[in-house]
Amino acid sequence: MGEETLSNTEKQVLLALNEHGGRATPEEVMQTTDLEMVKVMNASSWLQSKGLVTMHEELRSHYQITGEGKRFLSRGLPEENVLQLVLDGVADFASLQKKTDDLGIAVGWLRRKGWCDIQRRDGEKALVPTEDGEKALASPLPEKAVLQAVSQGREVPDEQVLRELVQRGAVEEKECIVRTIMLTERGREAAAAGLEITDEIVQLTPQLIRSGEWRKKEFRPYDVRAFAPAAFPGKRHPLMQLVERIRRIFVEMGFTEITGGFVESCFWDMDVLFIPQDHPARDMQDTFYCSHPASMEVDKKLLRTIARVHENGGDTGSQGWGYTFSPREAERVLLRTHTTVNTIRYLAHNPEPPAKIFSIGKVFRKENIDSTHLPEFYQVEGIVYEEDADFGELIGILHQFYAKMGFRELRFRPSYYPYTEPSMDVEARWQGKWMELGGSGIFRPEVTEPLGIQHPVLAWGLGLERMALNMLDVQDIRELYLSDIQWLQRQPLL
């Protein structure tokens, strides 16, 4: 490899390695070259890609003294200080307590080391030194020798004492990566051939052009064959890209977006949609209920109308659910379980056709987390409200939407929902199986007629994350929220 393909920094690193016999740590290269660590590592990476050096990494453990250990060295160990007080004649606990804050710790270690016994004198507890205790302070404590060795980076004289000091928080074990940069045979040849550090221009700037200095210097050649790291520009999270794509498709199809809040009353989230008040979806184990506020005021006139529909069908011709409707249950507050609450409220305030509406937002359900379920997820909601709307039109709209999203294998299956009839599920092929993407249908008269809606309403609710599983080739829905930076960087723009 020619000298002209090497930068000045790379040449400096090669020469420094040659001075150190062909191998050195980045820190040693820094001392030899006065280069910053980031420049040494960057140059070494380029040299490695060019086959001139190799880099070896090794995980090593080492010990370092803590603040507690430094206190032991400067002020003495608790048991050492208390033993000295006892030897000086201060033995009763009351007196010792006044002279030290570590009496409890010290007594434990004094007894553990066999330096003192506890006896009663005149009804008071006191420490009495043992024979070993009388001699203990005659020579330096092994703990201090170990602490000195750790603080100075020397070999530890007693491993057992070291382990005890780790337990006492005076020493802590640290792991670090030790890197070694080594010249390859080609690197040795390049360094031995003599490398000249020249004043060269790596990047042409306006200042260089205006000053004319560029005429006096050499330009570093550009090697089109050199390794170049992948560049990952900033971009939105794949889910947010998917949201924007869905939004764009619905707008192209003539729909208007609406939004709503996360916190709703059971009345709008459940009752208006003809979901019975004893439906399993309303149980605490399926729905997130709020305690502050625990209730929300509901329009009394509309509440009475919906109550009649639940109890006996009201004026809809239905028999209803045949139970006594509870206004208190209707006023309970929850985190919305679907975005249908947005569309039904829109219809209540805009009962005259036509309308083509969609919304994209988070919903909340007490789901068990697994590869296809989350307790918090996005739902894509939509309605078409117009004269003569029918089930065939609903299938056509959903087929067109999914075709624009890139889905090819779809099927529509009959299903059941309390607020639509007929109802169907949309499914797509995923990992060789059919996966449900969402539900759809035509709102029942019990839903529409109490709100003054006289024509058919086509409705659907689709899961965003399940679409993402298919489109992003993800195996587990939880991976969408793991913030794996490498996975995020590799994702193409949708």
**Best CA proximity match to 423, nearest among 453, 398, 387, 452:** 398
> What is the distance between the alpha carbons of residues 126 and 137, in angstroms, rounded to a whole number?
20
CA trace torsion 189, 190, 192, 198 (10° rounding)? 170
Looking at residue 298, what is its pLDDT?
Answer: 92
Question: Is the per-residue pLDDT at 72 higher than 90?
Answer: yes
Mean pLDDT of 108-134: 91
User: Parallel, antiparallel, or unpaired: how do β-strands 256-257 and 355-364 relate?
Assistant: parallel
Task: Give the homologous superfamily in CATH for domain 241-262+336-489.
Answer: Bira Bifunctional Protein; Domain 2 (3.30.930.10)
Summarised one tens digit per residue, pLDDT across range 214-262 is: 887 777 777 677 666 778 888 899 999 999 999 999 999 999 999 999 9
CATH architecture of 67-169: Orthogonal Bundle (1.10)
Question: Is it true that 3-59+176-219 and 241-262+336-489 share their CATH fold?
Answer: no
According to the model, what pLDDT value does residue 456 have? Answer: 94
**pLDDT recorded at residue 196:** 77
When pLDDT is cut at 50, 70 and 90, the band that residue 151 belongs to is: very high
Residue with the larger pLDDT of the pair 373 and 402: 402
Q: What percent of the chain has pLDDT over 90?
A: 65
Residues 352-381 as b or e (16 or more Cβ within 10 Å = b) = ebebbbbbbbebbbeeeeeebebeebbbbb
Q: Are 335 and 286 in contact (CB under 8 A)?
A: no
Q: What mean pLDDT comes out for the span 25-47?
A: 92
Confidence at residue 110, expressed as pLDDT on a 0 to 100 scale: 95
Q: Residue 248's pLDDT is what?
A: 95
Instruction: Please tell me the predicted confidence (pLDDT) of residue 486.
Output: 84
What pLDDT does 383 receive?
Answer: 95
CA distance 305 to 191: 91
Domain edges within the chain: 3-59+176-219, 67-169, 241-262+336-489
Q: Which amino acid is at 106?
A: A
Pairing relationship of beta strands 53-65 and 116-121 according to DSSP bridges: unpaired
CA 22 to chain centre: 42
Average pLDDT over residues 96-125: 90
Q: What is the pLDDT of residue 493?
A: 83
pLDDT at residue 77 tops 60: yes
Average pLDDT estimate for 174-183: 90
C-alpha closest to that of 419 among 335, 288, 286, 316: 316
Measured N-to-C along each axis, helices 8-19 and 37-49 cross at an angle, to the nearest 10 degrees, of 90
pLDDT at 475: 82
What's the pLDDT band for 431 if we cut at 50, 70, 90?
confident
Q: Class of the 3-59+176-219 domain?
A: mainly alpha
Residue range 383-399, pLDDT digits in tens: 999 998 999 999 999 99
Q: What is the pLDDT of residue 2?
A: 52
| pLDDT tier for residue 285 given thresholds of 50, 70 and 90 | low
pLDDT of residue 279: 85
